[in-house]
Amino acid sequence: EPEVTQTPSHQVTQMGQEVILRCVPISNHLYFYWYRQILGQKVEFLVSFYNNEISEKSEIFDDQFSVERPDGSNFTLKIRSTKLEDSAMYFCASSASGSGRETQYFGPGTRLLVL
């Protein structure tokens, strides 16, 4: 069964450093998403991406965040200058269409720790 994959599974970085989280969505999906889950808290929407541009973003997704689809398979989330409060689990998801009726499939997540 096709699945969303994410790398790395864990990342430790120093405050102020840039990190890039990588995702490979399901191959025939067209919509891609990033979510964040701070330890012990709820999952929070960050951004959705379609046709090489952001379609929706939350108030969390500020100027330090950016997303990119650098090639036909990868979807990345970049955090330019990490802060302590960026420590969280970051989930990538993908769906075949952008309709709210379309199932979003989540990856296993990348656990980011900012020291």
Partner 1 sequence: GQQLNQSPQSMFIQEGEDVSMNCTSSSIFNTWLWYKQDPGEGPVLLIALYKAGELTSNGRLTAQFGITRKDSFLNISASIPSDVGIYFCAGLISLTGNQFYFGTGTSLTVIP
- DSSP code, position 81: S
- For residues 21 and 93, which CB has a smaller minimum distance to partner 1 in the complex? 93
- Quick check: 33 binds partner 1 (CB under 8 A)? yes
Candidate list 25, 79, 91, 114; residue touching partner 1; CB under 8 A: 91
- Quick check: 65 binds partner 1 (CB under 8 A)? no
d(CA 113, CA 12): 5
Least Cβ distance, residue 65 to partner 1 (angstroms): 15
- Quick check: 38 binds partner 1 (CB under 8 A)? no
Q: Are strands 75-79 and 88-95 parallel, antiparallel or unpaired?
A: unpaired
At 57, is the secondary structure helix, strand, or coil?
Answer: strand
